[in-house]
Structure 1
Amino acid sequence: MNRGKELIEELQSVISGKTLDALVPPLLFVLLNNRVGLPLASLISGIFALSLSLIRIFLKQRWQYAFGGLLGVLVASGFSYITGNASNYFLPGIISNVFLLFLILLSLLFDKPLAAWASHLSRGWSLEWFWRSDIKPAYREVTWIWALLLLMRVVVLVVLFISGDLTRLFVWRTVLGWPLTIGVLLISYIYGIWRLHLLKGPGIEEFTSGKSPPYKGQTRGF
């Protein structure tokens, strides 16, 4: 029960308030494109994203994700309008996924796994802890999981983009978006905590306090 509650809290800290911001603007675009045409579909989805950003600011909620969604809509709509091809609405997202995959592979090449950097930036834990030989393998292996799943996402989206099937492209982009991300986060957390336990390294608090072995290890957070 405690572990389940812990997983829910970890997911809430990552995805709270973001799903609507990311999902609705492209859904509006797809639904409206065949009915009102590319320019008006781009305009309406952009206005919705802008309205969502303003609402977030007015309600003093996290507006950064809605604003990021607005920028994404503007860039994607621009691609579509300039080229006259509605499928290009999804091109910036595909490019960003390819770039992220490149960063992941680069981090593995230099043995500074991206999962460790992501945890460091989000939690503020010391980088020295992540690079320990009894800690880093867990983050390296989780980064490989990210790489494989992201590669699958890129391949599927590129194939659908080339086919020009806008509806299927939206559906699979959605399925391989937040649902896949949530699954990856769950797998990463469960596997990461289990792997750290096997490695028998210090927990971050033990490392920070300079505790000597044997260690209790990391019991919460990855």
Structure 2
Amino acid sequence: MTSLDKPTEDAQQDSRAVTEAALFEAFGGVRGMVETVVPGLLFVTIFTINKDLHWSAIAAITVSLLLVVVRLVMRDTVKHAFSGVFGVAFGVVFAMMTGNAKDFYLPGMLYTLGLALAYIITTLAGVPLIGLILGPVFKENLSWRTRNPGRKKAYAKASWAWGLILLAKCAILFPLYWWANTAQLGWVLVALKIPPFLLAVWLTWVFLAKAPAPIDVFAEMEAAEKAEEERKAALAEERGEERGEATAGRHRRDV
């Protein structure tokens, strides 16, 4: 390894570490995955045992609220836990309205289908959804669209990966919604909760780790503000010197 190779490898490692940290922040990490799985797992477990929709629904919504309370007590971010509560609440309300326990899963399945289409459509439109999600996390906002074509290409690849993986998941779940019973659908859905998500996150990491570094637009704005302040300060100092010279000139004339 030459002295020139070392900084390059260090920069690549730093870029990968930043990418990994940003992905964990954006998607909730291990804890976020647990909070996503537990309510549905509890619902299908109880329903498999006693076939009681009401107790299964109550257990699922209760554990979702407890996860939010734990986050609040620990003063941690609650966005992932709250999203779980809303997802479970929609499922509970829908299942209670129809009286069909399988409908507990239908809102989440429709959301997955809509999200898959959103990833694909936004990518075809030239504004890949994963870039819109991760841009603020990387402090680059939308700079990748016009100033960083390599990064835009990586976001497009990642969005295609998310869209196709979620479509494949829907291709499994929707037929089961019609043909399988509630317990079968529930266990398959729980089994498909984490692996497709991890695959999509891993592919996103692979694409972004090889992409150009993000442009920190916040640092650029801070630098521009600092430069403007320095310019104003220099201008004020120059004007002060000019006024001082003018005053000195008048004083000499008076003398």
Correspondence 1:116 to 2:131: yes
TM-score, with structure 2 as normaliser:
0.69
Match of 1:178 in 2: 194
Q: Is the 8 A contact 2:138 2:216 kept in 1?
A: no
Q: Is the 8 A contact 2:95 2:101 kept in 1?
A: yes
Distance in 2, Cα, partners of 1:128 & 1:64: 25
Query: What is the CA-CA distance between 1:68 and the residue it aligns to?
Result: 2.0
Letter in 2 for 1:164: A
Q: 1:183 to 1:10 in 2, by over 3 A?
A: farther
Distance in 2, Cα, partners of 1:139 & 1:90: 30
Match of 2:39 in 1: 25
Q: 1:189 to 1:77 in 2, by over 3 A?
A: same
Q: 1:48 to 1:155 in 2, by over 3 A?
A: same
Match of 2:109 in 1: 94
Match of 1:204 among 211, 215, 221: 215
Distance in 1, Cα, partners of 2:146 & 2:182: 43
Distance in 2, Cα, partners of 1:134 & 1:27: 40
Distance in 2, Cα, partners of 1:175 & 1:93: 15
Match of 1:219 in 2: none
Q: Is the 8 A contact 1:108 1:140 kept in 2?
A: yes
Match of 1:151 among 167, 174, 180: 167
Query: What is the CA-CA distance between 1:92 and the residue it aligns to?
Result: 0.6
Match of 2:58 in 1: 43
Match of 1:138 among 143, 150, 154: 154
Correspondence 1:69 to 2:84: yes
Match of 1:79 among 91, 94, 112: 94
Q: Structure 2, unaligned stretches of length 5 or more?
A: 1-8, 221-255
Distance in 1, Cα, partners of 2:176 & 2:51: 23
Between the two proteins, the alignment pairs up a number of residues equal to: 203
Query: What is the CA-CA distance between 1:191 and the residue it aligns to?
Result: 2.5
Q: Is the 8 A contact 1:87 1:164 kept in 2?
A: no
Deviates more, 1:150-159 or 1:64-73: 64-73
Distance in 1, Cα, partners of 2:214 & 2:83: 34
Q: 1:144 to 1:166 in 2, by over 3 A?
A: same
Distance in 1, Cα, partners of 2:186 & 2:136: 31
Correspondence 1:162 to 2:178: yes
Distance in 1, Cα, partners of 2:59 & 2:216: 49
Q: 1:54 to 1:131 in 2, by over 3 A?
A: same
Q: Structure 1, unaligned stretches of length 5 or more?
A: 210-222
Q: Is the 8 A contact 1:49 1:70 kept in 2?
A: yes
Deviation by residue 1:12-37 (Cα, 9 ceiling, x = unmatched): 43333212221111111111124161
Deviation by residue 1:157-199 (Cα, 9 ceiling, x = unmatched): 11111123333323332333222212211111112332x36xx
Specify which structure has the bigger relative contact order, considering alpha-carbon pairs within 8 angstroms and separated by 6 or more residues. 2
Query: What is the CA-CA distance between 1:98 and the residue it aligns to?
Result: 1.4
